[in-house]
Amino acid sequence: MAEHQISKTFPVKPKHKPKPRTPKQTSESKYWSSFKTKQIPDLISSISSLTFSPTAPHSFAAAHSASLTLYNPLNQFSPTATISAFRDVVSSASFRCDGLLVAAADLSGLVQVFDVKTRNPLRKLKSHTRPARFVKFPAADKLHLVSGGDDAIVKYWDVAGETPICDLLGHKDYVRCGDCSPVSTDMFVTGSYDHTVKLWDVRVRDSGSVMEVNHGKPVEDVIFLPSGGLIATAGGDSVKIWDLMAGGKMVYSMESHNKTVTSICVAKIGKDSGEEAQQYRILSVALDGYMKVFDYAKMKVTHSMRFPAPLMSVGFSPDCMTRVIGTSNGMIYAGRRKYKEDAGGGSDEELDRPLSKYEKREKRLKALGDAGGLGPVMEEPQIRVLRPSNFRYFHRGQGEKPSERDYVVMRPKKVKLAEHDKLLKKFRHKDALVSVLRSKNPENVVAVMEELVARNKLLKCVLNLDSEELELLLKFLQKHLTVPSYSRLLMGLTEKVLEMRTEDIKASDALKGHIRNLKRSVEEEIRIQQSLQEMQGIISPLLRITGRR
């Protein structure tokens, strides 16, 4: 007759607790988390506008109060210049395509054009009778400007002559935002508090707007998407995408914000070349303090970030390296992404791969040669491939990396058993229980008890415990009896202990003290449960009434 073989059930492990339902961090989340945020404080009033220069090093301008401050992202976001030649609060700013000029509008209705280097005002465009809310340089156009304001008029300016070429009428309320087409210098869109977004073509002046779409709520911001055929509008708690080529058809409505969306911009993921160059996203910020990243190719929100204040403006640099967010309390959260190439050169995969001794030597020699101006000291050494005909092939150590054709035999890792696991393996059940009680790890204690229940040995172990060991068990029961995850097992065990060891408990004052403490714990738990039931009885009718409404 074959002997009974015991299955391998060691080590004894506690039951797995339910894991929280937190989503795993995706590659998209890792990308946006790689922007290391730095706070730029001490700005006056709300940050109403953030705009980047299209030329390197891609400085950005922040409009706050009656000032326009320029920042250099390559120098720890230090301010490089401040323009204060305004009579009222600055509402919007825009760089020219060459980055040499910046235009700014303020609430006095004045639009000014400044030289970025000297900060001198070159032109003052006076025509708006009410506060000017937005100003924009058309793409690849150095001679014209577009502006709009609370007078419900959109103006197309000749910058050199300081005169409006045409006034575009059609909006019935404040014009709050606008953007120029990336594919045409003659077309642009404007958004108004009359819920409409209008597409204008300066070549068609007398017939009004070329196209009109209704957002449904006051429009806070509007942008062209890179293709030029789609626009995104922000108003209320939604961001909507419209297809101009299809006659202004709404493609999608993103409604993940809880409060008014104040600003949106286009962000590009990756580098300037390769497959990642065409991965565009829409960044939106709102008064709820959230920044959302929307992938309009897949029509879903791919990332979300929370900030401690209402957000008013957002900007993203053309080189995909800088992201800035302006708040209502005068704080800018500027994030700079650092590539591994910047730190040491080479791609991510090359940096992660450990260097061989020949590559380390080559790198060291190259550094010495470059430092002395002598060029490369020696040619790249040929890495010698070990073959079975070579004596060293059979003396390779564990540090040797296998080649592609090698068959790797994995050695199973030896499981390290705890003290109670070793005792269970030797069928010393009482010693295993005492050992785990002394370890003071409740999960392991319950796991060992469940194993002893499966072996029908738990009650026998309790019966054989001496006074000190029984005291350890009572201490454990007193401390963890009311824990919900353990109570089902421990309540039944407590009843059996009191029933089986009554005489021993009566003979010992120390054990009597533990029983009194155990009784207090149970009574306290009963009071808590009664209080919770009373609260539930009070709340349940209110919930029913609320559900009917």
Residues spanned by the domain of 109: 27-336
Do 458 and 332 reside in the same domain of the chain?
Answer: no
Q: Is 122 part of a structural domain of the chain? A: yes
The pLDDT mean for the chain works out to 83
Question: Does residue 398 carry a pLDDT above 90?
Answer: no
- Choice among 3-7, 121-125, 232-236, 239-243 with the minimum mean pLDDT: 3-7
- Percentage of the chain lying above the pLDDT 90 cut: 26
Question: Does residue 545 carry a pLDDT above 50?
Answer: yes
DSSP secondary structure letter of residue 159? T
Chain segment 176-188, per-residue pLDDT in tens: 999 999 888 889 9
Q: Is 11 part of a structural domain of the chain? A: no
State residue 271's pLDDT score.
Answer: 55
The arithmetic mean of pLDDT across residues 490-500, rounded, is 89
Give the integer Cα–Cα distance in Å for 59 and 315: 11
What pTM, to 2 d.p., does this model score? 0.61
Do 317 and 450 reside in the same domain of the chain?
Answer: no
Q: Which helix (H) or strand (E) holds 544?
A: helix 509-548
Do 35 and 150 reside in the same domain of the chain?
Answer: yes
Residue 438 belongs to domain with CATH number: 1.25.40
**Residue predicted with more confidence, 320 or 547:** 320
State residue 19's pLDDT score.
Answer: 63
Q: Would you list the DSSP string of 404-430? A: TTPPP-PPPPPPPPPHHHHHHHTT-HH
Q: Would you list the DSSP string of 494-527? A: HHHHHHHSHHHHHH-HHHHHHHHHHHHHHHHHHH
Nearest CA to 330 among 106, 48, 547, 542?
Answer: 48
The arithmetic mean of pLDDT across residues 450-472, rounded, is 89
Structural domain count of the chain: 2
Question: Does residue 406 carry a pLDDT above 80?
Answer: no
Residue 228 belongs to domain with CATH number: 2.130.10.10
Do 90 and 224 reside in the same domain of the chain?
Answer: yes
Residue 209: pLDDT band with limits 50, 70, 90 = confident
Do 189 and 330 reside in the same domain of the chain?
Answer: yes
